Amino acid sequence: MKRKLIAAIGVAGMMVSIAACGGSDSGDKKDETKGGGDKSLTVWVMDGSAPKEWIDGVNKEFEAAHPGTKVKVEVQQWTDIQTKVTTALSEDTPPDVLELGNTQTTGYAVTGGLADLTADKDKLGYANWSKGMLPSAELDGKLYAAPWWAASRVVIYDKAAFKKAGVTPPKTRDEWIDGLKKLKASDAKSQPIYLPGQSWYVLAGFLWDEGGELAVKDGDKWKGGLATPQAAAAMNFYKELQSFSTAPKDKDEATPQQSVDVVPKGGVSSWIGLGWEAGGAIAAIEKAGKKADLGYFPIPGKTADKPGSVFFGGSNLAVSERSKNQELAKEWLAFVTNKKQLESYGTANKGGIIPVDPSAQVQPEAGSFAEAMVKVAEVGRITPITGGWANVETEPNPIKGYMTKVLKGEDPQKAGEEADKVIAERINQQ
C-alpha cells in the first residue's frame, strides 16, 4: 500500500507506448495455453502480501489441476514498483499476473496495460465481491482487476512502555496526546510515537476527519484539496503528533522501514502501521533475542463515539494485456480469489486482512491487530477513483512535499497552494 510512481510526464509517455503496443497487436496475440506450448505463468506479488507456505500451496494445487503448468512467483519490493511495472507492461514478455495497489490499478487500466476482465466476471466470482472494493478495479464500466484484499493502519504499541507510564489505549485525539505526554515523562530516552514526516496515508485520515479531501472534482477536471482550512487543521494535528517523534521530517514510513529497521532496535513506545508490519516487527524483535509484547488500538477520532478515519488500502490482481498466456492467467486469478483460497489466505495472515468475498472473512483473535483493524473498517476511505490519481503519487509526491514543508515551518496555506498545482496537473493527465 506504499505506492510510488515515476515522473508524471514519464508515466504518460511510457503508458501511451503501452497503449499503442497493446492495442495494435490484439489480432496477432497468441495464447500458448491453447496450442500445447509453454504453459508457464509468471506472477508478481509484493513483499509481505503472500505468506510463502500459502502461495506455494496454492500453486501446487493449481498446477495439479492444470497438468504441465508451472507457476513462477516473483516477489517485488514496493520501492519504485510503479516504475518497474510501467516498464514491464510495455515489454513483449511482461509478468502474466501482477499484484497492484488499489490506488494504482485505474492508472494502468486507462492506458491499456491491463487485460479487460469484464467478460470473465462470472468466472471470477464478481457477484460475491465486496462492493466497497470494486471501484478501484473498475473504470468506465469495465473490470480490469480482481480485488484481492484490503487493510488499514492501527496504532501499535509496546505494552510494557504503556504500563510503565500508566497509559491505556485512548479513544479520542485529546486522550492520545495526553498519553504521549505521559510516555515522554516516563522515559525521556524513548520516542512516545515513531511518526515520519511523510506518512501521507495517516494524514489522509486526519484530513477526512476534518471534512476535507485530497482532491475534488471541479466540473470536468480535478483540483487539489490541500490549500484549505480542513487540510491545515489536519496537518496541524499531524505536526503535534510528530513533535513527540525524532523520525525524519522528510522521509516516509518505509525510509527506513519502520517495522524492521527502526522498531526492533528499541526506544519506540508506539507507531502507526499495517498488519504485515506488526508481524515483521515481532519477528525481528524475537530474532534479536528480545521479547515482543505488542498491543493494538484504532487511530483515535475527534470524539469517542467513532474511531479516526483511515486509508483503506489493499491490493488487486490484474492480468497483463500483453500476456502470452492470458487465458491461463485468468484461470489462476479465478482460482486464487475463490472462497476456499481466500479463507486459507485469511488464516495464513491470522485474520489481518479483509478479503474481497465477505463470506471468507476469518474471525480475528481477541487482542490481535486484526481485531483493532476490523473496528475501523466502517470508517475506511480510499483515494480519489480516477485514472490520473496514480500520477499524484509520483515521486516526488506533492502530498509528501507539502507535509515536510509544514513540519519545517512553512505556512500550510502557501504549502497547500504549491502542492495543489502539482496535484491538478498530474491528476488530470489520463
pLDDT in tens, 290-304: 999 999 999 999 999
Distance CA 74, CA 120 (A): 25
What nine digits make up the cell of 94?
Answer: 511482461
The fraction of the chain above a pLDDT of 70, given in percent, is 90
Note whether 90 and 12 are within 8 A (CB): no
Note whether 96 and 43 are within 8 A (CB): yes
Residue 4: per-residue pLDDT: 31
Residue 100: per-residue pLDDT: 95
Residue 11: per-residue pLDDT: 30
Residue 18: per-residue pLDDT: 30
Average pLDDT, integer, range 96-112: 90
Cα 105–51–345 angle (5° rounding)?
75
pLDDT at 404 over 80: yes
The rounded radius of gyration (Å) of the Cα atoms in the chain is 22
Q: Tell whether 193 and 166 lie within a shared domain.
A: yes
CATH number for the domain spanning 87: value is 3.40.190.10
Distance CA 390, CA 383 (A): 10
**Residue of higher predicted confidence among 361 and 160:** 160
Q: Establish if 373 belongs to a structural domain.
A: no
Write out the H or E segment, with its range, that includes residue 101. strand 97-101
Average pLDDT, integer, range 270-299: 95
Confidence category of residue 2, pLDDT binned at 50, 70, 90: very low
Q: Tell whether 294 and 175 lie within a shared domain.
A: yes
Q: Establish if 241 belongs to a structural domain.
A: yes
CB atoms within 10 A of CB 429: 18
Q: Tell whether 137 and 169 lie within a shared domain.
A: no
DSSP-assigned letters across all residues of 359-396: GGPPPPPTTSHHHHHHTTGGGEE----STTHHHHTBSS
Q: Tell whether 91 and 62 lie within a shared domain.
A: yes
Residue 203 lies in domain: 154-311+385-389+397-424
The fraction of the chain above a pLDDT of 90, given in percent, is 71
Backbone phi, then psi, for 289, in 5-degree steps?
85, 15
CB atoms within 10 A of CB 117: 24
Q: Establish if 369 belongs to a structural domain.
A: no
Average pLDDT, integer, range 107-123: 94
Average pLDDT, integer, range 249-273: 97
Q: Tell whether 74 and 28 lie within a shared domain.
A: yes
Average pLDDT, integer, range 362-373: 89
Interaxial angle between packed helices 326-336 and 52-65, expressed in degrees from 0 to 180 and rounded to the nearest 10: 120
Q: Tell whether 259 and 328 lie within a shared domain.
A: no
Amino acid 393 reads: E
Distance CA 123, CA 100 (A): 20
Residue 5: per-residue pLDDT: 28
pLDDT at 6 over 80: no
Three-state SS sequence of 333-357:
HHHHCCHHHHHHHHHHCCCCCEECC
Give which of 408, 404, 401 is closest to 224, Cα–Cα.
Answer: 401
Residue 38: per-residue pLDDT: 60
Q: For all residues of the chain together, what is the average pLDDT?
A: 89
Distance CA 347, CA 41 (A): 25
**Residue of higher predicted confidence among 276 and 162:** 162
Q: Tell whether 272 and 409 lie within a shared domain.
A: yes
Whether a cis peptide bond, with omega within 30° of 0, leads into 169 is no
The count of structural domains within the chain is 2
CB atoms within 10 A of CB 60: 11
Q: Tell whether 346 and 413 lie within a shared domain.
A: no
Note whether 410 and 419 are within 8 A (CB): no
Distance CA 64, CA 87 (A): 32
Q: Establish if 113 belongs to a structural domain.
A: yes
Interaxial angle between packed helices 398-407 and 200-209, expressed in degrees from 0 to 180 and rounded to the nearest 10: 80
pLDDT at 345 over 50: yes
Distance CA 4, CA 421 (A): 19
Q: Establish if 41 belongs to a structural domain.
A: yes
Average pLDDT, integer, range 36-61: 89
Lowest model confidence (mean pLDDT) among 27-41, 253-267, 308-322, 372-386: 27-41
Give which of 146, 201, 199 is closest to 315, Cα–Cα.
Answer: 146
Q: Establish if 372 belongs to a structural domain.
A: no
Q: Tell whether 266 and 296 lie within a shared domain.
A: yes
Q: Tell whether 58 and 124 lie within a shared domain.
A: yes
pLDDT at 66 over 90: yes
Distance CA 101, CA 82 (A): 10
pLDDT at 104 over 90: no
Could you identify the residue written with the cell 469484464? 118
Residue 233: per-residue pLDDT: 98
pLDDT at 1 over 70: no
Q: Tell whether 137 and 270 lie within a shared domain.
A: no
Distance CA 226, CA 203 (A): 11
Q: Tell whether 83 and 232 lie within a shared domain.
A: no
